Chains A and B, each alone.
Chain A
Amino acid sequence: MGIRVRDTYVHTNLCQLNLRFGPDEPLKEMVGLQREFRIFSADHSLAQAFMLLNIGPPQEWEQRTGWYLYLSEDLVGFSSDDPAYSNAHDRIVAALKANLESKNPLPVHFTCHDTSKTHPGVFIKGDDTPLAFSRRKYLTISLPVVPAS
């Protein structure tokens, strides 16, 4: 993402994701959308799903394209933290699907990490408490990124 999308837009994207998958009403909406449309499934790429949800830089075409290329092309090249999935993209889709279709879905906290420093690919953790200001449980999805030079 760092290479594809300018710094400020990375924040915008993460902020949009955290608002749309946040606790209470946003999560209920996402569960309703998943129930009706199966947005997150092997039938749709993450880029298609997020396009449908209009998650991405709102106006700037170049930044929007960069974001969707990150989702559709770059994520496939990163590894999964779960050996059941061959790449980060498929792991994220499966995690979102399983969470939204579960009996007790969790809000999702999206963040990102530099792959050269910690995990080489995507990192996903359920029942996480990623926010210093909250004891609420989240599904944390840390997107793998390579910093822009």
Chain B
Amino acid sequence: MSSNTDPQLGNVRASIKQYYTERVLKYGPTPRGADWTCVATQELRFVQLLKLLDFTVSFSLNDVGCGYGALLSYLAKRHPNTCIDYLGIDLSPAMIRHAKRLWKHCGHASFVIGNSSPRIADYSVASGIFNVKLDQPIDLWERFIADTLADMHAASRLAFAFNLLSPASLEHMHDPELYYSAPQPWVLYCERELGCSVEVVTGYGMREFTLLVRR
């Protein structure tokens, strides 16, 4: 069954769409609207994800779960001289509306509603999209992650990157609506199922890790 016609994954995506639409309607195009603590932690995650990229040359980039396009703001600040052909993809039409409004004068950026990129780019990144699982059972959520990673792999000419929350040291600190994982299962998935090489980035101050996955 294709992932787009799998009713269970369809339900997962519908719940994600509803959750983030409610967030952005309540808090607007702000870090809180995308469920981040603040701009600083959001950008610290971008720093790790973008370790994948070579900013000395121009490239195309898919931003899966782009929200209101916060990554563009970071790229403009940190890498203003690199020409980046950017496509933001998000399940929430409200997020995409905000993104299009915010970035309407940015000629090299476009946005689409969806769960996967309609084009192949040099790179794909996804920040935080696997963290909030809501009330989905873990095995279904992991199927959603695997499916999304396969899509990112298919839509990336060179490499892709994503992040996941690490388990807390104390079990009672776990939020049942969040998904936590050790790196290893997802390293193995990317190596064995997708045939890629994987670099694990940790130790940047947050209880999470970033996987840089190269073809």
Contacts and interface: CB of A to CB of B under 8 A. Distances in A.
Contact of A29 (B39, B43, B205): B205
Please tell me the size bucket of the interface on B: 10 to 19
A33 B41 contact: yes
Given A54-B31, A54-B32, A33 B40 contact: yes
Given A54-B31, A54-B32, A36 B39 contact: no
Interface in B161-215: 204-207
A33 B37 CA distance: 13
A32 B31 contact: no
B138 interface: no
A53 interface: yes
Nearest to A30: B205
A37 B40 contact: yes
B40 A31 contact: no
Contact of A25 (B43, B204, B207): B207
Contacts of B43: 37
B76 interface: no
Interface residues of A, number: 16
Contact of A54 (B39, B47, B205, B207): B39
10 contacts: A25-B207, A29-B205, A30-B205, A33-B41, A36-B44, A36-B47, A36-B204, A52-B38, A52-B39, A54-B31
B44 A33 contact: yes
Nearest to A33: B40
A35 interface: yes
Contacts of A32: 44, 204-206
A96 interface: no
A122 interface: no
Interface string A77-96: 00000000000000000000
A43 B97 CA distance: 35
Contacts of B206: 28-29, 32
Contacts of B38: 52-55
A37 B44 contact: yes
Contacts of A29: 41, 205-206
A39 interface: yes
Contacts of A36: 44, 47, 204
B200 to A, nearest CB: 16
Contacts of A52: 38-40
Nearest to B26: A59
Contact of A28 (B31, B37, B40, B205): B205
